[in-house]
C-alpha cells in the first residue's frame, strides 16, 4: 500500500463523536429491579446523607436513602461499562391519578399559579439527580484512561450529567411525559444553559435543601433547542435520535 492509499484509508476512519465517547464509557439504564433501585438509593445516601447535610443518616441505617415519593417514581442509574459500577442516579416523580395536587415534592414549597396551569397529568418532577463527588472529581486515571483526547486532564462530570438527562428523556418518552418540573440550585440552572437546556422559573427562590429555584420546562421544546444549539449534546440526550419522543407532539401541551 503506497502512502497516498494509506492516507486515503486513514481519512475514511470516522472521528469519534461525543455520543460514541459516552457509549464507550457509560450506560444509562432504567432501575427496574429491587436490586437496581437499591443501587440508586445507595448513591442517594452517599450524596444526600454523607456528602451533603440534606438528610439525616440516622434515618437511613441501611445506607439506602428513601422517601415517600419513591412509591410513585421511576428510577434510572448510570453505569460505568468497564467496571459495572453504579456512578449516578435520577428519578422522575410521576403524577398520581386522582391526587394531582399532591403528586410532587415541588408542590410542598411552591404555590405559583403557573404550576397549576401546567398539564399536571403529563408532568413529572426531576428529582434526586445525583452523582457522588468521588466520581464527579475523578480525572483521567485507570478507570477512564483515554477519555480525554486533547492531551489535558478533564472531569468526566459533563458526560455523566448528560447521561442522566438521557435517562430522563427515555423515561419521559416511555410514560408520555411532556413537562418536567424541578426545584434546582441556581448554579445548576446556569450550567445547563450553555447546553441549550433552559427551565422557566416558578416564582422566587425557596428554602429546600438550601436556596432552590422552582422551575419547569416543556420536554419537546427543550430537546429542539438543544438540537439547534448543541447538536452533539442532543445526540447523547436522545441516543442519536432513538429516544426522541415523537409521540409527544400529538399530546396536548
The three three-digit cell numbers of residue 249, written as one number:
407532539
Which residues on neighbouring strands pair with residue 182, listed in sequence order?
A: 215
The three three-digit cell numbers of residue 83, written as one number:
467496571
Asked if residues 51 and 133 have their Cβ atoms less than 8 Å apart, the reply is: yes
Q: Which of 72, 76, 105, 71 is nearest to 89 (CA)?
A: 76
Residues whose CB falls within 8 Å of the CB of residue 228, separated by 6 or more in sequence, listed in order: 196
**Distance of alpha carbon 235 from alpha carbon 242, whole angstroms:** 9
Q: Which of 147, 149, 126, 127 is nearest to 135 (CA)?
A: 147
Asked if pLDDT for residue 250 goes beyond 80, the answer is: no
In the chain, where the domains are located: 16-250
**Distance of alpha carbon 40 from alpha carbon 83, whole angstroms:** 17
Q: 49-68: per-residue pLDDT in tens?
A: 999 989 999 999 999 999 99
- The DSSP string of 124-176 is EEEEEEEE-HHHHT--SSTTSTT--SSSS---SHHHHHHHHHHHHHHHHHHHT
The three three-digit cell numbers of residue 205, written as one number:
427562590
Q: 187-205: per-residue pLDDT in tens?
A: 989 989 988 999 999 999 9
Distances (CA, A) of 14 to 20, 109, 118, 230: 11, 49, 44, 20
The three three-digit cell numbers of residue 198, written as one number:
433552559
Q: 87-143: per-residue pLDDT in tens?
A: 999 999 999 999 999 999 999 999 999 999 999 999 999 999 999 887 765 543 333
The three three-digit cell numbers of residue 35, written as one number:
436490586
Give the pLDDT of residue 152.
Answer: 38
Q: Which of 49, 78, 77, 79 is nearest to 65 (CA)?
A: 49
CATH homologous superfamily for 16-250? Gcn5-related N-acetyltransferase (GNAT) (3.40.630.30)
The three three-digit cell numbers of residue 126, written as one number:
426531576
What predicted TM-score, i.e. pTM, was given to this entire model?
0.85
Residue 111, classed as helix, strand or coil, is coil
Q: Which of 156, 243, 154, 229 is nearest to 197 (CA)?
A: 229
Amino acid at each position: 500500500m503506497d502512502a497516498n492509499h494509506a492516507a486515503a484509508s486513514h481519512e475514511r476512519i470516522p472521528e469519534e463523536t461525543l455520543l460514541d465517547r459516552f457509549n464507550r464509557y457509560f450506560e444509562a439504564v432504567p432501575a427496574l429491579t429491587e436490586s437496581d433501585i437499591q443501587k440508586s438509593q445507595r448513591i442517594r445516601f452517599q450524596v444526600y446523607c454523607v456528602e451533603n447535610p440534606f438528610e439525616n443518616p440516622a434515618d437511613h441505617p441501611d445506607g439506602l436513602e428513601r422517601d415517600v415519593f419513591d412509591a410513585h417514581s421511576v428510577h434510572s442509574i448510570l453505569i460505568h461499562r468497564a467496571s459495572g459500577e453504579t456512578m449516578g442516579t435520577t428519578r422522575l416523580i410521576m403524577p398520581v391519578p386522582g391526587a394531582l395536587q399532591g403528586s410532587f415534592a415541588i408542590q410542598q414549597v411552591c404555590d405559583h399559579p403557573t404550576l397549576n396551569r401546567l398539564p399536571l397529568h403529563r408532568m413529572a418532577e426531576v428529582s434526586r439527580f445525583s452523582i457522588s463527588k468521588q466520581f464527579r472529581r475523578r480525572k483521567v486515571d485507570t478507570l477512564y484512561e483515554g477519555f480525554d483526547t486533547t492531551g489535558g486532564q478533564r472531569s468526566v462530570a459533563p458526560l455523566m450529567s448528560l447521561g442522566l438527562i438521557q435517562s430522563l428523556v427515555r423515561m419521559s418518552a416511555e410514560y408520555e411525559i411532556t413537562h418536567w418540573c424541578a426545584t434546582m440550585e441556581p448554579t445548576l440552572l446556569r450550567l445547563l444553559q450553555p447546553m441549550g437546556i433552559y427551565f422557566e422559573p416558578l416564582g422566587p427562590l425557596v428554602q429546600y435543601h438550601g436556596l432552590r429555584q422552582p422551575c419547569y420546562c416543556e420536554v419537546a421544546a427543550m430537546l429542539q433547542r438543544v438540537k439547534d444549539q448543541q447538536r452533539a449534546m442532543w445526540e447523547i440526550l436522545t441516543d442519536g435520535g432513538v429516544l426522541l419522543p415523537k409521540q409527544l407532539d400529538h399530546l396536548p401541551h
